[in-house]
Amino acid sequence: MRNQLTTLDILVFLLYLVGVSAYGYYIYQSKKKAEQSTKDYFLAEGSLTWWAIGASMIASNISAEQFIGMSGSGFKVGVAVAAYEWVAAIVLIIVAVFFMPVFLKEKIFTMPQFLEQRYNSTLSLIMSIFWLFLYVLVNLTSILYLGALALSNLVGGDTFHVIIILLAIFSLLISIGGMKVVGYTDVVQVVVLVVGGLVTTYIALTLVSDRFGLGGGAISGFNALMDNAGDHFHMIFPKPTVDTPQVEVDKYLSLPGIAMYLAGQWIVNLNYWGCNQYITQRALGADLHTARTGILFAGILKLLMPVIVMLPGIAAYVLYKNGGLQAEMSSTGSFNADNAYSAILTFLPNGLKGLSMAALTAAIVASLAGKVNSISTIFTLDIYKRYLNPEATEKKQVWVGRITIVAAIVISIALTWKDLLGIGGEGGFQFIQKYTGFISPGILAIFLLGMFWKRTTATAAIVGVLAGFAMSVFFNNYAPAVLGPETLLYTAFPNGNGAYEIPFLVCMGLSFVITMLIMIAISLVGPRVNPRAIELQPGLFRVSRQTLVLIVIILLLITALYTKFW
């Protein structure tokens, strides 16, 4: 697609930009009050419908790292990487049924606020600062960097820095209007994302069909994928033996078969979808039925995501394997898997290239806008209002929120401009996983025990956060060298660099279990019922028939998918 954008492509892309901007301005004007309250600005004051909540959650979740990283994983390992999406759909059921009733009952705006009400202000402040640093220095910066890199590769020329500025301005225009504008423009973004993504997948499958002379149909192209890349259509990788080739060992290290379903996948997804301000904020302003329906709608959309971002990667693998992507090979004769998605885009006809670029931009901008809105919410409500200016008026807080958005975007531009954090060298997807995964076991432990065990103490929670991080570092970096490659707790495998490594998702499981045990032991020394414990009334987790129907639909679809691709 590089240097191949036509006038029609540019017009399609501009239509997307103008359309989303105009719709965002319309939402802002139609729902603007003389003076916005904090709940109205940060949580949309319950005005988001179920479909807006679900679409906004997906739009904020899917970004350049999915289009590039998951498509690249599809090229390398195949359908097994869809576990992240399909397990997430089940996790969204858990969040809708069990997490959201607790959050709404406690009337919280932010995750740090929940920690303060359940534990104490010390833990809340620690986690507020941590989340701000994580969101700004890791998530926001990596999204902007990967997004600018992907789009500049598609547009061609020396456009990386220009695209950084344009993405930043576009996301700023959307996020400055508050959660209402973010939520409702995300609906448009998801439509563009899904339509553009499905078009790309359709073209990819027809390319494969044409390559094998099957008549150009998408169905025949999919069948050709299964015939020519059968090893790419298995969800579970077998545990390596001493005779297993290193390439297969590497697959297992990233997606360790059945082992990752015992803990790791659940920890990743429960922390992301249930304990993450960036995601939960969309539903915190709604009533329980609306919130649950929106979250389950996001679960249904989640099942579709591998079709959009993974299948093109498998198609690129089959085309490359059969000589169809010669131009994308490097001078060494190898193919960079992260180029899989952009390689498919080069085959799109005029007009559809602009649509696909709009889909990628929609994913990037929606994620940027959602992230800065969450940064603004945490800083304003949990730090500024709580510690810097307790007497701040509603109007003052809204303006501080807007200033925070601008500041966060400026910082991310500065860090992205010359890649000061080394995201490009480390790999964007790996960069995000590395710095968020170490803390996930501890965070999930304090939320789960805080919500569902009345005896959990604040001391146990603080120790749990620190222990979870320490255990993650130990198992990921030091355990094989200290304890050996084979123990009762784990099996480490050669990583191809002369060392042994425990699969990352297994490390998360071990860290989580040990953290839970430490927290339980500390809490048993305290009172039988903690004074700040949450009272879970009978019927709190009861679901309506409509909610139950949606849950059954998701579970049936997931069962069918795993039955087909096990």
The CATH number linked to 142 is: 1.20.1730.10
pLDDT at residue 334 is higher than 60: yes
Write down the pLDDT at residue 333. 53
Write down the pLDDT at residue 4. 63
- Are 399 and 512 contained in the same domain? no
- Are 365 and 479 contained in the same domain? no
- Euclidean distance between CA atoms 185 and 187, whole angstroms: 5
Write down the pLDDT at residue 16. 83
State pLDDT tens for residues 544-553: 999 999 999 9
- Domain-embedded: residue 432: no
Query: In the structure encoding, which two tokens stand for residue 363, read together?
Result: 């994913």
State pLDDT tens for residues 244-286: 898 889 888 888 989 889 888 899 899 989 998 878 887 887 8
- Domain-embedded: residue 17: yes
Provide the percentage of residues in the chain whose pLDDT is more than 70: 91
- Are 391 and 485 contained in the same domain? no
- Are 349 and 451 contained in the same domain? no
- Euclidean distance between CA atoms 485 and 504, whole angstroms: 14
Residue 29: which residues within 8 A CB-CB, separation 6 or more? none
Write down the pLDDT at residue 2. 45
Q: Which of 43-47, 113-117, 458-462 has the lowest mean pLDDT?
A: 43-47
pTM of the model: 0.88
- Domain-embedded: residue 540: no
* Structure-model confidence comparison of residues 461 and 497, the more confident one: 461
pLDDT at residue 327 is higher than 70: no
Write down the pLDDT at residue 285. 79
- Are 251 and 307 contained in the same domain? yes
Number of domain units in the chain: 2
pLDDT band for 457, please (50, 70, 90 cuts). very high
Query: How much helix, strand and coil, in percent to the nearest 5, is found in the chain?
Result: 75, 0, 25
pLDDT band for 224, please (50, 70, 90 cuts). confident
Query: In the structure encoding, which two tokens stand for residue 128, read together?
Result: 């507020």
* Residue bearing tokens 């547009």: 155
Single-letter amino acid code for the residue at 456: T
Nearest C-alpha neighbor of 207 from the set 361, 315, 55, 105: 315
In this prediction, residues 451-458 reach a mean pLDDT of 94
Provide the percentage of residues in the chain whose pLDDT is more than 90: 33
Contact criterion met (CB below 8 Å) for 358 and 170: no
- Domain-embedded: residue 30: no
Q: How many helices (H) and strands (E) does the chain have?
A: 29, 2
Q: Which of 186-200, 241-255, 317-331, 352-366 has the lowest mean pLDDT?
A: 317-331
Single-letter amino acid code for the residue at 38: T
State pLDDT tens for residues 384-408: 998 999 988 888 988 998 899 999 9
pLDDT at residue 88 is higher than 60: yes
Domain hosting residue 296, numbered range: 7-25+49-427+548-565
- Domain-embedded: residue 248: yes
pLDDT band for 459, please (50, 70, 90 cuts). very high
- Are 233 and 200 contained in the same domain? yes
Give the range with max mean pLDDT: 40-49, 54-63, 96-105, 418-427.
96-105
Taking all residues of the chain, what is their mean pLDDT, rounded to a whole number?
Answer: 85
- Domain-embedded: residue 352: yes
pLDDT at residue 45 is higher than 80: no
- Are 291 and 200 contained in the same domain? yes
Write down the pLDDT at residue 471. 94
pLDDT band for 428, please (50, 70, 90 cuts). low
pLDDT at residue 359 is higher than 70: yes
- Are 97 and 140 contained in the same domain? yes
DSSP letter at 2?
T
Q: Is 419 helix (H, G, I), strand (E, B) or coil?
A: coil
pLDDT at residue 44 is higher than 60: no
Write down the pLDDT at residue 6. 80
Write down the pLDDT at residue 141. 87
- Euclidean distance between CA atoms 457 and 56, whole angstroms: 34
- Are 59 and 162 contained in the same domain? yes
State pLDDT tens for residues 489-520: 999 999 888 889 999 889 999 999 999 999 99
- Domain-embedded: residue 362: yes
CA within 13 Å, CB half, 238: 7
- Euclidean distance between CA atoms 169 and 182, whole angstroms: 14
3-state secondary structure 436-505: HHCCHHHHHHHHHHHHHCCCCCHHHHHHHHHHHHHHHHHHHHHHHHHHCCECCCCECEECCCCCEECCHH
Distances (CA, A) of 84 to 87, 303, 306, 512, 553: 6, 10, 9, 18, 19
- Euclidean distance between CA atoms 311 and 222, whole angstroms: 9
pLDDT band for 534, please (50, 70, 90 cuts). very high
- Domain-embedded: residue 543: no
Nearest C-alpha neighbor of 179 from the set 287, 47, 288: 47
The burial of 138, by beta-carbon neighbours within 10 Å (0-12 exposed, 13-18 middle, 19 or more buried), is given as middle
* Structure-model confidence comparison of residues 469 and 352, the more confident one: 469
- Are 412 and 444 contained in the same domain? no
φ, ψ of residue 491 to 5 degrees: the values are: -125, 125
- Are 155 and 238 contained in the same domain? yes
pLDDT band for 414, please (50, 70, 90 cuts). very high
Residue 186: which residues within 8 A CB-CB, separation 6 or more? 52, 55, 56, 59, 60, 366, 369, 370
pLDDT at residue 294 is higher than 90: yes
- Are 407 and 287 contained in the same domain? yes
Write down the pLDDT at residue 330. 45
